[in-house]
Every structure is written in C-alpha cells, then in structure tokens.
Chains A and B, each alone.
Chain A
Amino acid sequence: MTSSKTIVLRSSDGATFEVDEAVALHSLMIKHRIETGGADSTTIDVPEVTGNTLSKVIEYCKKHVEAPNSDDLKSFDTDFVKVDQAVLCHLAKASYYMNIKGLLDLSSKTIADMFKGKTVEQIRETFHIKNDFTPEEEEELRKENSWNLFV
C-alpha cells in the first residue's frame, strides 16, 4: 500500500494542483525530480506546461494510475483526445516534457490520424505552415509523386 502522500505541481502560469504521489509518479520526469530532489520536494515546478494543459495531464494520469485495468480505459482515451487541435498539440508537448509515454503515444497517434487524407495545402492551412519552396522546386517534387491512381 502506497502512502497517501501528496505532491503539489505548479504550472508555468502559477496554477497549483495537489495530486497523490502515485499519480504524479506516472510522469517519469516528476519521478526523477522526486528521487533526486531530497526530502523537501513536495512542490514541483513544471514550467514547460500551462495550467490548462497540466490539469488535463493530471486527469489522464489519475485515470491510468487509479484504474489501469478498467474496461472503459480505451473509451476514456478515445474521448480524452476529442479536443481541438491546439489543445492536442499542447498535450503532446506536455507529455513529452513530463515523460508520460502513454499520453505521448496517444496524442501523437491522434495528430497522425488528423493528417490522413489531407492534401498538402490543407496541412499547411491546418498547422499554419509557410510554404518556403519556389514554384519550380515544388513542381519538381510533385512530379515525383505522380501516383494519383493509387491514392
């Protein structure tokens, strides 16, 4: 039985969240901080993550730590990533910095799914990417991809 010790996580914008230590340890980054931080590590700063994102990350960790074998874990995950694109990107970055593999895989896969079927123009629009090719360079690349029949 793990102790009911709690940890406070502080986001980049100063929001604080009190969580069970077991839940916090789901993030390998926090686990490392606790293990190397000494007896005084009850408040941990997470400057790479804003309050809104951190609260969602904690929600994910709670579910996965407290009920890892529940039948509805899969549907929880599916619903968890039904968020708008910006939130999804923030979740991906947060899970990367906080070293939460499950959430990183989940968000990466969801972003990858968003790419499917999109044209090059749609990708640029959705993710606000500037086209830095000259028209000639782009034409050359497109010529190499003449497999319309296959698509």
Chain B
Amino acid sequence: MMADEFPLDIIYGILSRLLIKSLARFRCVCKSWLKYINDPYLQTIHVTEEPTPFLGFSSRDTENLRKISLLRVDQGSMTVKKDPVYEFCYKGWSMTLGSCNGLILVCFNIGTSDHDTFVLQLINPLTKQRDTLPPIKIGTTYAHWFDSGATAGFAFDDSTNTLTTVCVILKQPDWSHDFFDVRRGKLCTMVHRSGMSSWRKVAQNPACPIGGEGVFAHGRLHWLASREFFRSPRKIVWFDVKVEEFGLIDFPDLPEMSPEFHYYVPLVDLNGELGFAYDRHNGFHMWILKQEKWVFHCFINYPLALTNLGYEDVMVSDCWNNAGDILLIVDDWHRGKHLLVYTLKTGDLKGFVWDDPSEAKADVGTDVRMSRSSMFSIRGINPSAY
C-alpha cells in the first residue's frame, strides 16, 4: 500500500478506524505515516473509542514519599487489574483536578509545613509522560494553591486545538472563606493554554466562588457555585473556553428536593453533557442538561437507607462507555472501595472484582477516572509536538 498509489482520503479513512495505541506505534512505519498520524485533520475524523477506566491509587511508599499507581480496569471482565500501568512517587500530597483527552491534571503540593509550593502536572498514563505547567503568577507574586482556595477546570478547546486549564483563585491569600461577599470580590481567573509558557489573566470573574472539579460540556466548563446562605438555591457557574466568559445556570425547580439536596450535588460528565445526581433515599435521580434545558435522565436503584453507607460514601461518577452506562464509586468501610456500573438500558447494577482485594480495603485515596484517549494524547503535550 504505497502512499503515492492510494488517495489520501482512503488512507485517512483507514487510519481513523485504528486504535489510538496502534496509531502511536505506527508513527514509526515511515515519514509519510508520521505526517498523516500527526495531522490534526485525523483527530477530527477519528472514531471515538470507548473510554478506558483507570483507577488512581494513592499510597504511602516510605516515610516521606507517597506513590500514585494507575491501575487498569478491564471493562469486559469487570476486574481491577493488579499490575499498575504507570507508577511514580512524589513528596507531599496531591489532588486530581480534572481529566480530558486521556490526560489527567494533578496538583502536587511539595512544600514544607510553613510554605506550600504547588506544581500542576499533566499526566499521560499511556505514554507515561508528565509535563509541568508553568507556575501561576498574579502580578509579581506566585500564587499558592492552598492559601488561595483555588478551583480548576481542564478541557480541550477544539476551536484553538489547545488543552485549556482554567484556575479561579483568590488574588491574595484570604482565610475568611466563610464570608461569601468577601471572597467573591477577591477572585481572579487565570487561563493556560498548551504551548504557552505562562498563564494569562482573564477579564471576567465568576459571579461567586466555586468549588470541585470542572465538568466540560459543549465548550463550557461547569462548577458548583458556593452558596451565600445555607438554604440559598444552588447554582452552577460556567466558563466558555472559546470566548472566555462566565455565566450562571440554575438547577431544575424540583419541589421534592430536600434542603439537604442543596448541600452537595456532584456535577457529572455524561459523555459530553452536563448532569447531576441526587439521592432520594431509595436511589439516585439523575438529570441531564440538553440544549440548555434540564431533562430527567434516569433513576439508579441503590437504596442507601438499606445499607450501612452514608450519603457521602456513594459517588455517581461519569459514563462508563459510549452507551452512557454510569459508574458508581462506593466507599464502604467494611468491604472497602468498590465500583458499580449502572446499565442505562436494563437498569442493572453490576459490581467489580479486585484482582488484589487488599487494595480495595486500603485506607488511602482512590480515584477512578474514565480516560478517553485521543489523538492529542499521542502527539504529546510539548509545543513542538504540534
């Protein structure tokens, strides 16, 4: 199959059907193939693969070092594999800020007790690359993550073909985070796009402080807004990564929601659509935002009342596959951490098996990420790569 004998359209058509890991390998075949595989056009026509679940397992390696292990989860047999795909050690603590296009954004705090120094890194579990983002500078001072009560969002902006990280932080460290208005007036929004060597301040700021991980849907990052008073209605703050503007969305007006509902509602990524789940004691009700309107999505029959679990112990995560089946992460003190998959079509809840059950019971942080590989992740995150 000489490149010069085949029309380019056919070559791209064939390449678009290959798995991303095959394409990464085939970059070595010859210079023409490297050119085709690196071509941004291929990314636009590439068939969307099923997401791969990665389980991020944080443990203590030695006295000073912590370790992150990324374990593969086999979707077919519903087993968490024992041998990690990728493992590394670090000092201090870490927090996952978001994931997209097969990459995971993690914040590492590597400082000493009186001065925290944080570093943001993009981790690619497939290529085992870790790229450090430039430090955030506000004016002449470097921002401190923890002191600044930072919230981040991470997305791929296909209008500019860049990985965009958005950080909403306090201009100066402020420990009075109980005072809504005070915090609101002191916010500052910084944006980093892959290829840039520094962060840029955005003209707008969110209408109120935000928290949690950003959920990317339809070109916008969404976060839960902090509430002014305990029983104030919850809102969702969005940031459009293309035009760099903020906005607000209300939750649907559901009369049966209890005040506790408004306490914490995780936002969920439902295959590129924004969703949320709330506990109704007999299960989870899920709603999805379709064309800027809230629509009832499904009911997951998981009666918390019948278990020994609390509301915070079961988390509705994102979609398990392209069909929209939903992943639930259960943190059971007795049985350890386990994963459940809710099948949208049948309403079944299926559980997982750990290859190494001792890992399930480990008293350490565990996070499950549905990683969607993308062409972008195999081109690398260096500016020279594209």
Interface residues, chain A, with chain B CB atoms under 8 Å away? 89, 92-93, 96, 104-105, 108-109, 111-112, 115-116, 119-120, 123-124, 127-133, 138, 141-142, 144-147, 149-151
Contact = CB atoms under 8 A, between A and B. Distances in A.
Nearest to A128: B2
Interface in B1-22: 1-3, 5-7, 9-10, 13-15, 17-19, 21-22
A141 B27 contact: yes
A105 B9 CA distance: 12
Contact of B21 (A93, A119, A150): A150
Given A144-B24, A147-B24, 8 more contacts: A92-B6, A108-B13, A116-B18, A116-B22, A120-B29, A128-B2, A132-B31, A141-B27
A145 B85 CA distance: 13
B83 to A, nearest CB: 7
Given A96-B10, A141-B34, A147 B127 contact: yes
18 contacts: A89-B1, A93-B5, A96-B10, A104-B10, A109-B17, A112-B18, A115-B18, A115-B26, A128-B1, A128-B2, A129-B1, A131-B29, A132-B30, A138-B28, A141-B28, A144-B380, A145-B127, A150-B21
B128 interface: yes
B383 to A, nearest CB: 15
Nearest to A150: B85
A51 B31 CA distance: 34
B26 A112 contact: no
Contacts of A133: 28, 30-31
B29 A123 contact: yes
Contacts of A131: 29-30
A149 B83 contact: yes
A147 B21 contact: yes
Contacts, number: 88
Contact of A108 (B17, B25, B85): B17
A120 B28 contact: yes
Interface residues of B, number: 34
Contacts of A105: 13
A141 B37 CA distance: 13
A150 B28 CA distance: 18
A73 B5 CA distance: 31
Contacts of B85: 147, 149-150
Nearest to A140: B28
B2 A129 contact: yes
Contacts of A109: 17
Contacts of B128: 146-147
Contacts of B18: 112, 115-116
Contacts of A132: 30-31
A47 to B, nearest CB: 15
List the 10 closest pairs (A to B, CB-CB), nearest first.
Answer: A112-B17, A127-B1, A108-B13, A120-B28, A141-B28, A112-B14, A132-B31, A108-B14, A111-B14, A145-B24
A96 B128 CA distance: 39
Given A112-B18, A129-B1, A129-B2, A96 B7 contact: yes
B81 to A, nearest CB: 10
Contacts of B380: 144
B364 interface: no
B29 A96 contact: no
B2 A123 contact: no
Given A129-B2, A141-B28, A150 B9 contact: no
B257 interface: no
B144 interface: no
Contacts of A89: 1, 6
B126 interface: yes
B72 interface: yes
Given A108-B17, A109-B17, A132-B30, A145 B1 contact: no
Nearest to A124: B29
Contacts of A146: 127-128
A67 B29 CA distance: 41
Contacts of B83: 149
B1 A147 contact: no
A104 B30 contact: no
